[in-house]
Structure 1
Amino acid sequence: MPDARTELVLAVRRALGHARAAAQHRLETIEEELAAAEQHLKRVRRAAEQVPQRAGAHRDQRLATLTERYQQRIAQVAGEAGAAATAVAPGAAMAGWPDWRPTPAGRTEAPGMARIGCTGVTGSPTVPALVPLLDDGHVALDGDDRIGCDAVVATLLLRALGRAVPGAVRLTGYDPEQLGGGLAGFAPLAGPRLLTFVGPGGLGRHLDDLVDDIRRINETVLAGEYRSLRELAASTGRRPEPWRIAVLLGSPGEELSRHERAQLDRITRAGAACGVHLVVRGVELRAGPTVTTVSVSAGTARVSGYPALPVRLDPPPPAELITRTCRDIAGTISAGPVPAVFGDLLPQREWTEDATGGLTAPVGDSPQGRPVAVTLSDYPPHALIGGPSGTGKTNLIYAWIGALAARYSPTELEFYLLDFKEGVSFARFAPGRRDPSFLPHVRLVGVNVNTDREFGLALLHFLGAELRRRADAAKRHEVTKLAELRAEDPQGRWPRIVAVIDEFQVLLAGNDALASEAATLLEDLARRGRSQGIHLILASQDVSGIQALWGRTALIAQFALRIALPKARRILPETNNAADGLPRHHAVVNAESGAIEANRVVRIPAASDRDTWHELQHRLWRRRPEGLSPPRLFDGDAVPRLTEAPDYLALAGTDGGPREPVALLGETIDVRAGSARLALSRSPGRNLAVLGTRADEACALLDSAARSLVRQYPAGTARFDLACLDRDAEAAARDLHAALPAGTGLYDLDTLPGLLADTGDRLAADDPGRPARPHFLVLYAVDAAATRLTAKFDGRSGLDRLRRILHIGPERHTHVLGWWRGVARMRDDLGGVGSRTDQIGAWVALDVQGTELGPPLYPRAGGPAWYPRPWRALFFDRTVHRNAEVIIPYGPS
């Protein structure tokens, strides 16, 4: 059952229809009354002239009274008629030429009748003379005034063009006498094929084409559901077919063949309901309810609807007005057809669909105006979208997401959205600073990740883990498909998942380990995801050179649903070139892996407009389930802050401090917004080395680590000391020193040896089984002290003391968080080439090439597959990692 809003819309549409019909009926009645009043006035005047002269005074008074009375009545009727005429012929259908401009009718509004002049006798109030045409009938002109007939034709055509959106009226001209000269002013419409001419001898073929159009519209567009295109447009707000006006300017004495007469009669009877109309002169139309005859003579006309009233014809529209209007229409059409309407994709009632069998929603409408739905299910399970830049790929994704989100609730459907191109196309689905709303179905939004392929890989790992979880649940319930699992476990939460990866080729670009791993994960998801309700939508501007994808036939075969935008390449097979000639705002939808016979042309709505989208998103957001958390937003251009990290906010001090403190270093590049954590337990090697020359990032790493440690210790339960040996780091060191507990030492190049000596002495005196309170040494650019630390201090160099602290300190809860400005410099401080680096259990590399990080720092030969880039770091903890992971250091506090 339709909801209250739908019922209200239908009621308003019915009321508008009744009002228009009433206004038109009132206009016809008033015109009859006006004609009767004028005839009666004439009779009164004639009778008065026959009264004998002896009754002159009484006669004159009586005549004046009757004349005044009937003139008032005529003025009243004329006023009512003018108001009624304005109602049924608004805007461009009525306006005079000096102020005339196009005023296209609304989506559910009828175009109305067209004014050709004014009715009424000389000296009496005038009433607009209207002629029905669009959606109403046909016009036949006759009479001896050829110029007047041509003026009526031009008036009708220009008013029809002005009451329709550009391209919604198509004209054809049959003019064997002047060879199209009678429609010369409309010639600019010939460019976009809105005006075509029929040559001499082509009338029969032209009438056949019009009859075929009427038959097709009745069979495929109206299809028994509606009686006319007017009714369809009023009910649905869509008009899938243009109006077709055939202007037939026959030659004097031209005879029609029997076949031509029969076809003309068919058009006369059935054409108006299908938007096919005739405007004829010199060609006989049989009288009927849809035919209006206009007889023109000496600048006046008689119209069959109100033959008693003479019509003073309006002057013909200025030639420059016709030409300018037609050029504007042609220019609009040349810019491309208008898109469909996003609201047409939305259901009358939201969140009523069940995703058990799949996800079905329209992405646009067909050339016949009917919604074209696409499905993601067991078949087809996944979709591939392609189109060059500017063809509307992102807009198509918006339309599809909106249509799905309006039909399926967040318990039925979840989205994971990733955009590898530079930009924030998907950011609107997540909360922003000015707008807290978000699309309730979206669980992940990744933007500006064109340099963070690791995040795409993380998404594939996450989906793979979810696939295994669902497969395990299916095994427990002894089923194989998501639909069966939902039936066996109705209390479980098993929504269908749609992962959209825009510009996915970035993830697979290159011939490296990451691309190979991503392709393998994609293939597994594409092959097994269909049965567990995990669907992939991959989009790209150009996929012609992606060897990692097209070299895997088993992978590409899973993407049976193909959507090709204009000029798309390799989305459809080479033998299927349906996308080559597509206009703007259109796409080819093919659910059979590109088979030509499965092509469907779709007109895509404008869904990317922020205001249009926000209306839907806010409405769904207000209906979101209670307790639903916002989606994870990963912005590759944003620098995360420690104080906003969930893991930092969850840290809390305990009496005596934690048994195993954790230093937070940065944000992991993962689906869940986690922190890169370094556990500083009482185990050998629990020290951190920050490697690289980027001072701001190195300082930020040390700052985050120290602040997160402080948060875990009540005052006085842990000791912190800082040493800064680089001028570029002095400001950062002072800021951190101010944030650390009172009593924290701040050392420089001259005082660092004393700190190391004191710390070494304390460690020697400590009982390893019962260490003193935790001690954290934060050393900025420690390699700068190499020369100073080689000097002997009580018989031992400072480097020896540093090595001993690194070696035995962690077991006594003393940990070094040090920054070395190069891998070679750190190795020199640890004993030179060939020395062991076991005392460095974890490291974070900044602008260091992967080849510099080989054994013994990194267990694998050749080092990790890593290339440095701004505000990214490579983190490796030998007690946790098998492979190093890329992290984003937290920004300065």
Structure 2
Amino acid sequence: MSEAGAEGGPASRLYASVARLRASCAADVGERERLLDERAAVAATAARDARETAGQDIAAAGGLAEPTSLGGQLRGVLAALPGVEVRHPDAGGQPATLTRTLDEWRELAPAASDQVAAIVAAHRAWSATWIRRSSSMPRVGDDLWRDLERLDVLHQSVRPLLAAAVAAAVRAAQAAVDTQIEATVARQTAARAAQAAALRGAADRLVAAAGLAATPWEDRRWDAPLPPALPERLIRLGELETGLPEALELDLVPAFLDFPLDAGLAVGSDAAGRDGAIRLLRALALRLIAAVPAGMMIVDAVASVSSGQPAHAGENDRSPLGARSWRTGNDVDSVLADLREQVEIRTSRYLRGRFATIDEYNASAGGLAEPFQVLLVFDYPGGFSARARAQLLHLARSGPPCGIYPLVQFDTDALQDGLFPATREPPRAREVDWKDGPVDPVLRALRQVTTRRLPPDGTGLRAAAWDIHDPAIGEAARGLSPDDPPPITFSATGEPRTGAAALLARVGAAVREPPAHPPAVTLDGLLAAADRGGEATSEGICDLGADAGMLTVRPETWWRGSTERHAVPLLGRGGTRDVARLVLASGPDSGGGLVVGAARTGKTNTLHAVILTLALRYPPTELRLRLVGDEFAGYEKLPHACVTRMHGDREPALAVLRGAEAEARRRADLMTSFLVELPDIAEYRRVLNERLARVIVVLDEAHKLLGSADELGRALTRSVAEIARRGPSTGIHLVAAARTVSGLPAASRVALLTLPQRVAFRCDGDDADLVLGAGNKAAGQLTGAGNGVFNAARGEESRNQPFRGLFLPADRRESIVERLGEHVAQGPGDQWQNVTAGLPMAPPAS
């Protein structure tokens, strides 16, 4: 069976987290059992010691250990004397403790014995006299009768008080262990709750960032599905039972496969489960088609002549995927030979010594990307010759790195009967040990999903459960509930009637048409397009001024722009001619920008585009950048920039924002210190002919900074709101990026939404409604990383501008930053010392 990827994708990491949590819960149980065993041992020792000590004390007291009470014995002696009438006065209740009983016994027993002996002697003396008067007969006083009764009470108290003393000793001995157990349980409960919350959050983030291929069929995106612009990274199978304690409230997690797959899939069942296995493969094939751009997934299928199984993934004879169906033995050999040849070509041409997988190659190949390929195999090994099985084994082992994946449906009954002559291993017993995997080498090279028959229920029926056998998932794999495929329905004229059918129709059309992959958005192309179109303002297009010239990647074209009226960073291409860009000016609709999108959709790349296109166009005397975020490492070399990295601490970000506030106030005071108040920085520069640079604060991960309603979060929110309100007129602008706005406190949402220009990448519905407006659905239609919507009018739908963002690899960014640093004519101390007075030139110490 194929090994999971060394690093593991998001699905593998999710299931590893489930496995770790299950292991932690099992370890917790073991630790608690050990403490309970220790508690029992401590209790037994304490009980034994308490009994031994008390027994010694009772024996030393004399008489307490006798079966007959000393009080009764002495009472009998007195009763035998003539003229003595036995009385039973009240002697009080049982002592509170065994110790008090022993102390009282030691005091009363000898005295009572002596008194009775004295009375007996006195009676003998009285009886020996010749003249015996009754008035002189010795009497037994009430105190003695009370003492004898008391001795009876003490004697009767020994047994229950001994038991109570032993119980008290046991409780005292157990108390320390109980304290330890309580602390352990509390620690375990808190730790597992935190682990479960983190796991739940990880699953939620995966679901929130999931593309079409990883969403349930009932997701609205499946109503009108569109192929993604880039391959998606998660493929949904259904849901998995976690096997975690109910108290953690995490019974199920989504069942995902990481894409590209690191192994093919074998789905096995008995005859009763065959239809379910085929449905699982069909659903998986449809999701694989939905995971890649149109035309980037080729589907072939083979089935035995007797199976009657349509070989293509669709449910109609038109086969909108363009898939080829193979049934005869020669056909099977032919398709497998073709796929093996593809493996050899891709390995030698693209992978060997260059790329680990075809996906890595595709990332750099642009329009020359190679499509992924899927081979659906039904009723294996029916119709497979020994040669075909060998070909399929090679495909199972070598195909996945090349983007070629066999998906095999097989019969576990046939496996149990030993009907796999390709193996040298002897047939197994009727019950297959799936822990070690199936005996067939083809199936052992694949990730397996198999049925497990459950005991009959009350109706006598036997239900089936599905299990994934994958070392990357481990025990978390038991209890898979696979998603059945959605209906794929076409009209009599071939028009799709369901979302899945519409997707297949679109993909089929793309397969039949010449491939047309849009070129990557390069910096060279973006700069050229921007200069051809001029620069945009909130009112339309304007030129850059006579001194600006054309900006290219050549250093001689850099730093010719002026920020007197505005600073214009570029975002990406909105088609073959249009360019999406922010306009940072003093007007109410151009003061700043907000970028929102789920993880890995293009937010941070957009910030890189903003930073670099600004730094190329404008010299440090015209532009200063305050970069706040952990993704901005390396920009310290940029002569325009001061970088503040947070490393989880929000205080440095607050210092930068407060510095920007202070600079805005300083500039506002400058503009009001004349007889005629100057409305903004552009007028100030025009009237005074004094250069005053615009300052752009770029804030990454704003949702982390503003996500808490604590004192620090409120201070950050106030600073953001103040800069957004007062900054633009003074040339201080804010560009902020966040994964979410809807999840922030109300004041933080309001502060960010004060920024008028909006950039939306793929995000959830609540964020889309906030960023672009409730009636603007453009963000919900985005697919693929880097595809966004720019809106310069606070979300007004008519101003939507779809675009594909600029992407610069890290090494290219570093190269440009290095060259910009070398472009400096002289040190910043003379040239820029007064450019942004009042702003910290370096991040505060963290």
Structure 1 length as normaliser, TM-score? 0.34
Structure 2 length as normaliser, TM-score? 0.35
- Which one has a larger percent helix, Structure 1 or Structure 2? 2
Larger radius of gyration: 2
